Amino acid sequence: MNRGPDEPMKARIELTVNGERREALVPVHKTLLEVLREDLDLTGTKHGCELGECGTCTVLVDGEPVLSCLALPAELEGREILTVEGLAQGGRLHPLQRAFAELGAAQCGYCTPGILLVARALLEATPVPTREQVRVALAGNICRCTGYTKILDAVELAALRMAGRTPVATAAAGSAR
Amino acid sequence: MNKHEFSVIGQPLPKIDAWAKVTGETRYADDLVLPRMAHARLLRSPHAHARIAAIDTSRAAALPGVYAVITGADLPPVKFGILPVSQDEEALCREKVRMVGDAVAAVAALDEETAERACELVEVTYEPLPALMSIEESLAHPEVRIHEYGDGPNVHKSVALQFGDVEAAFAAADLVREDVFFYEGNTHLPLEQHAAVAHWGPDDKLTLWSSTQTPHYVHRLLAKILAVPAAHVRVIAAPVGGGFGGKLDPFAHEIAACQLSRLCGRPVKIALTREEVFYVHRGRHPVLMWLKTGFTRAGDITGSHLRTWLDGGAYGSYGVASTFYTGAINPVTYKMPVYKFEGARIFTNKPPCGPKRGHGTPQPRFALECQIDRAAEQLGLDPADLRRRIVAEPYTKTANHLTVTTIGLGECLDRVVEASGWREKWRGWNAPPRGRGPVRRGVGIACSSYMTGAGSAVYWNNMPHSGVVLRADRGGGVAILCGATDIGQGSDSILAYLPAEVLGIDPKDVRVHPADTDLTPVDLGSYSSRVTLMCGVAAIQAATRLREVLFQAVAAKLEVDPSRLVARDRKVGVPDDWDRALTFAQAVELGEAMHGVLAFAGSYAPPKRAGKYKGGGVGPSPCYSYSACVVELSVDEDTGMVELHDVWLAHDVGRALNPLLVEGQVEGSVYMGIGEALMEEQVFRKHVHKTPSMLEYKSPTTLETPAIHTILVETDDPEGPFGAKEAGQGPLLPVMPAIANAIYDAVGVRIDEVPITSEKVLRALDLKRQGKPARVGPEKLPLFTFKTPLVVESAFGQPADAITRRPFA
């Protein structure tokens, strides 16, 4: 079908997502969020506002949290993009994923991918954060289900496990709190 | 049954869908993609109230990339609504719009941007009408009618019920208080914006995937709205990314997507923007309340009289139920021998209000608990002790004829008093201030109760409210089919845990297939805290039926009496001869050889306990949960800022089927209550939403959410599955009044409306300094005459109706 004269200009972009090189031919104004979800089939990244207000669509770019609804892929060529689909390595869940599942930190689960990625960035920089540091790191991610409590618990549990400071217990560890 | 006898129940297990959710694999409605799929947008009204003179879609239809453009003229001329008594909505308005955001046209195109551009090319000629933006305006202008039906001009519903002689009760009281409160409206704000994919296939059958909490009601209503046989409509609820009551109605976008798919011969996806979600709303009603209660010197309630005025917005939605709910639940908590309730829901030209977590009950709860606090002060009583004294009696009826079974509120109160250090921290009325400089510390307490599932469906019928089909596989797996909709609360997991417990298998052996009207028996939906109890009892029934058959087959094989068999650890056998136990899979094979295909149904309908008076159908529930809450906070007298430190919440959940999930519901409820208490408000500037974005609509982040201490109290209710009651809504209710009462304890000001913003706290502190009554709250009531009340004898104190006598049991 023919498009009108105002057909948007398209550009071929090359992105490194979850360690893989991916190409897409997309209108230049398309956001990273849209390209991930619509062109690269990475629907694990969610959207809550498309205005940079809720944190839901957060991905990591070179390890730093970025709101994918405000990022233009054309500016991210050559950078390392990590989405929730890239958190597990070789079929093994990231400790954050395991802790979130075991402690019930994901209720509806819609904000979970964004929060997991912010938490991962936090733990890279601060391996065993205080609860207050976790709170501050996650202050830009809204969750309407959990009251944040089990999310904070899960980040702390994952941090301790990654630091080798706690027995690798399962869900029972969460209920003892 | 004692806790240690369970293998699955009571364990803090991960939800069965947790793994998909932490890996991004869960496919919500907007994640679905079908071949040749078109994308749709709605054109919405910029006017709050206007006649539609003409709509010209020709330019939109001519835009390249547009597949179909529809208006109300392209849909059957049928009005609809979730409640049979309020059929007042149109997917695309034909003659008139009643709010900013009413949909008037819809476009399907090759992509969302093209659809959006085409919407801009639709030319609508409006003739504006006066917009009525408040209860006062709507009552003052009967000549302007938002709807032509109702209990008076712009009055959607007016109710008046009296149980016993309330004037005599006040005459017998030592203290009678009259107070006025206002509860501002607020919205659900789910992270997932509503989305749907419709596919009208070449076989002329329709499938709709949607982020809905009520696939069954959507199924019924789609058939009516689109004038097609319900047998040819299939509704599948995708995993819901947050509901809280906001996805309980059939919506314009769902209906438009279906009709567009029919016309353009392609699947059609539609996803709402965040701004649209604010206008779709169906959230908390703004409610103005007048409450008069009589107390004895000791703190007993002699009687209570409540009036509520609800600002309903532009459509009925669940509003008739909401109106009744503002009056139904207060008598469930405390001994309240005499009760009168008058309520009215008024139409305004704003987005319609409806059910939000706690549906109609947080508002009167706020009023009652704040008033009890004042009464305690006047009577010189500890507000915790006063409440402890007046807790309702288990297994009795309330004044308004509700049957109450177990009540763990006394224990809840004791536990929060103990855990919070109430005895040390609450230092009496008018104690010298606690804290340094301008920052004062205070504690407050409140209680609540809530229903575990509505006793009636939204349309009258005698069928089950929830059904399960269970099929055992020769491999030892079990499939569960149930219409229940997981909105994050974990209903899919409950449907795995309970059969696993009954059958002695691991929850991982159970696959749950939910919420598909073609495949699953009806469950009415995820609302009124009904799902765990209702689908849970149905699942137990189905699993028990399978177990009986397996036991027969295994008993024959082992040559023992079936009554000696148990099922545990994926085996079936005699406990003292466990070496000969058969594996569950072997038991299934024997069972299938003996009985044929192993598929069993379970059904649940609540006991029929509706009060024998008109309006008695709203409020009855199989059982009620109870909560007690203590809040500790600081108030800065210079800024009016309220900082929460700790919230202790004890909840009588009957039995915690999975304590992790129950804690999650309590924590989420407390969080949402904090938002309502301190910041959330759905308010309007002129005719438009004042804050239709997640940045401007304030909601608590990690920084505003304090430590939440959850205490679970178990009462083993005979109505619930393994004794369980609800947990998803009740724990929200006491949070707002506990905060208001703690603010009074901290700085001696009464804020009689939510949200309690720092501006209101400062205003009250100013009044206090000027020696005026230190109160901020509503100053006047609407001019409105309630109808003559229906007078019914109070059923207070009568013994409860028979327990567990229910249909299909």
From the list B139, B567, B86, B607, the residue with the least C-alpha distance to B348 is: B139
Residue A156 forms part of a structural domain = yes
Interface probe for B, chosen from A34, A110, A153 (most Cβ of B below 10 Å), is: A110
Whole-angstrom Cα distance, residue B706 to residue B91? Answer: 42
A4 pLDDT higher than 80: no
The DSSP letter of residue B331 is G
To the nearest whole angstrom, how far is the Cα of B510 from the nearest Cα of chain A?
A: 18
pLDDT band, residue B4 (cuts 50/70/90): low
Q: What mean pLDDT do residues B504-511 have?
A: 98
**For B558-564, what is the mean pLDDT?**
98
Chain centroid to CA B93: 28
Give me the percent of chain A exceeding a pLDDT of 90. 85
- ∠ CA B97-B103-B109, nearest 5°, is 150
Is-contact B175 B375, C-beta < 8 A? yes
Q: Closest approach of chain B CAs to the CA of A106, in angstroms?
A: 7
How do B38-44 and B268-271 pair as beta strands?
parallel
- Could you give the CA distance from residue B760 to residue B764 in angstroms, rounded to a whole number? 6
Lowest-confidence pick of B120-129, B324-333, B409-418, B609-618: B609-618
B156-184 tens-digit pLDDT: 999 999 999 999 999 999 999 999 999 99
Nearest to B18 among A1, A47, A106 (CB): A106
- Residues B540-550 have pLDDT tens digits of 999 999 999 99
Same domain, A55 and A102: no
DSSP result, B735-778: HHHHHHHHHHHHHS-EE-EES--HHHHHHHHHHHHTTS--EES-
| Domain range enclosing A124 | 95-175
| 3-state SS, residue B252 | helix
Contact between chains at A106 and B189 (C-beta distance less than 8 A): no
A39 in contact with chain B, both atoms CB, cutoff 8 A: no
- What is the residue-averaged pLDDT of chain B? 97
- A2 within domain boundaries: no
Mean pLDDT of A156-163: 97
Whether A146 sits inside 8 A of B661 (CB atoms) is: no
Residue owning tokens 């239809």: B61
Could you tell me the pLDDT band of residue B239, with boundaries at 50, 70 and 90?
Answer: very high
CATH of the domain at A58: 3.10.20.30
Give the model confidence (pLDDT) of B141-157 as tens digits.
Answer: 999 999 999 999 999 99
Residue A147, chain B, CB below 8 Å: the answer is: yes
Q: Do B12 and A112 touch (CB under 8 A)?
A: no
Is residue A44 included in any domain, yes or no?
A: yes
Do A60 and A102 reside in the same domain of the chain?
A: no
Contact B702 A136 (CB under 8 A): yes
Q: How many domains would you assign to chain A?
A: 2
As a whole-number percent, the residues of chain B with pLDDT over 70 amount to: 99
Q: Spell out the CATH class of B3-25+463-604.
A: alpha beta
* Residue entry with tokens 């021998």: B337
Q: How far is A1 from chain B (nearest CA, A)?
A: 7
CATH of region B32-129+191-242+247-280, choose from 3.90.1150.10, 2.40.10.10, 3.90.1170.50, 3.30.2320.50: 3.90.1170.50
**Which tens digit of pLDDT belongs to each residue from A79-102?**
999 999 999 998 899 999 999 999
- Assess whether A35 and A72 both reside in one domain: yes
User: Alpha-carbon distance B680 to B698, whole Å?
Assistant: 6
Average pLDDT over residues B704-730: 98
In a 3-state reduction of DSSP, which class is residue B670? helix
Residue pair B684/B624 in contact (Cβ under 8 Å)? The answer is no
Q: Is the pLDDT of residue B11 over 80?
A: yes
Distance between CA atoms of residues A8 and B439, nearest Å: 57
CB-based contact B277:B689 (threshold 8 Å): no
Same domain as A150, residue A110: yes
Note whether B705 contacts A148, CB cutoff 8 Å: yes
Q: What's the pLDDT score for residue A6? A: 62
Average pLDDT score over residue span B263-269: 98
* A174·B660 Cβ contact <8 A: yes
pLDDT at B804: 64
Same domain, A66 and A120: no
Residues B319, B320, B323, B328, CA torsion sign: negative
A158 and A114 inside one domain: yes
**B196 has pLDDT over 80:** yes
Cα B490 to Cα A47, A114, B28, B627, distances in angstroms: 22, 21, 15, 21
The pLDDT of B82-95, averaged and rounded, is 97
What single-letter DSSP state applies at residue A36? I
The phi and psi torsions of B417 (rounded to 5 degrees) equal: -60, -45
Residues A16 and A37 in one domain: yes
Q: Which of B720, B704, B698, B636 is nearest to B670 (CA)?
A: B704
The domain segmentation of chain B, as residue ranges, is: 3-25+463-604, 32-129+191-242+247-280, 287-455+612-792
Does the residue A104 lie in any domain?
A: yes
Reported as type and span, the H/E element at residue B711 is strand B707-713
Query: What is the per-residue pLDDT across B415-462, written as a single tens digit (0 to 9) for each?
Result: 999 999 999 999 999 888 887 789 999 999 999 999 999 999 999 999
Does the residue A21 lie in any domain? Answer: yes
Q: Residue A5 falls within a domain, yes or no?
A: no
Dist. CA B550–CA B613, nearest whole Å: 46
Q: Which of B191, B272, B666 to mutate to test the interface with A (most CBs of A within 10 A)?
A: B191
Q: Tell me the mean pLDDT in the region B696-723.
A: 98
Residue A2 has pLDDT above 50, yes or no: no
Does B278 have pLDDT greater than 70? Answer: yes
- What confidence tens digit (pLDDT) does each residue in B514-532 have? 999 999 999 999 999 999 9
Chain A residue numbers touching B664 (CB-CB < 8 A): 104, 107, 145-146, 150
Instruction: Tell me if A4 is assigned to some domain.
Output: no
Let me know if B460 is exposed, middle or buried by CB neighbors in 10 A (0-12, 13-18, 19+).
exposed
A62, A86, A110 — which closes off a domain?
A86
For residue A123, the domain's CATH number is 1.10.150.120
Residue B809 is predicted with a pLDDT of 86
Cβ-defined contact of A150 to B664 (cutoff 8 Å): yes
pLDDT tens-digit map of B107-141: 999 999 999 999 999 999 999 999 999 999 999 99
Residues A96, B383: Cα–Cα separation, whole Å: 43
Residue with tokens 């989305």: B195
Asked if B24 and A150 come within 8 Å (Cβ–Cβ), the reply is no
Q: At which of A28, A52, A86 does a domain end?
A: A86
- The answer to whether residues A66 and A19 belong to one domain is yes
Q: Is the CB of B27 less than 8 angstroms away from the CB of A43? A: yes
Q: Is B660 on the interface with A (CB under 8 A)?
A: yes
- Residue A3 in this model has a pLDDT that exceeds 60: no
Q: Which of A59, A86, A113 is the last residue of a domain?
A: A86
Determine the Cα–Cα distance for residues B70 and B42; give it in Å rounded to an integer: 10
pLDDT at residue number A168: 55
- Residue type at position B218: V
Mean pLDDT of A139-159: 98
Only one residue has tokens 């919420």, namely B515
Where helices occur in B209-338 by DSSP H, the ranges are 215-226, 252-264, 274-280, 319-328
A69 and A128 share a domain?
no
Mean pLDDT for the stretch of residues A13-42? 96
Judgement on whether residues A100 and A168 belong to the same structural domain of the protein: yes
C-alpha dist (Å) from residue B96 to A145, B51, B100, B315, B639: 37, 4, 12, 13, 46
**Fold adopted by B287-455+612-792:** Aldehyde Oxidoreductase; domain 4 (3.30.365)
Residue B75 has pLDDT above 50, yes or no: yes
Nearest to B9 by CA among B568, B664, B730, B600: B568
Q: Same domain, yes or no, for A104 and A155?
A: yes
Question: Tokens for B31?
Answer: 């994640």
Split at pLDDT 50, 70, 90, the class of B806 is: confident
Task: Mean pLDDT check: name the lowest of A100-114, B423-437, B634-648, B759-773.
Answer: B423-437
Q: Would B3-25+463-604 and B287-455+612-792 be classified into the same CATH topology? A: yes
Domain check: are A35 and A107 in the same one? no
Asked whether the bond before B755 is cis by omega within 30 degrees of 0, the reply is yes
The pLDDT > 90 percentage for chain B reads 96
In terms of pLDDT, which residue wins out, B733 or B783?
B733
- Interface contacts A/B by beta carbons within 8 Å: 192
Of A4, A37, A144, the CB nearest to B191: A144
C-beta of residue B557 within 8 angstroms of C-beta of residue B275: no
Q: Both tokens of residue A127?
A: 């391996």
pLDDT attached to residue B785: 94
Q: Band the pLDDT of B801: cuts 50, 70, 90.
A: confident
Which residue on chain B is closest to A141 by alpha carbon? B701
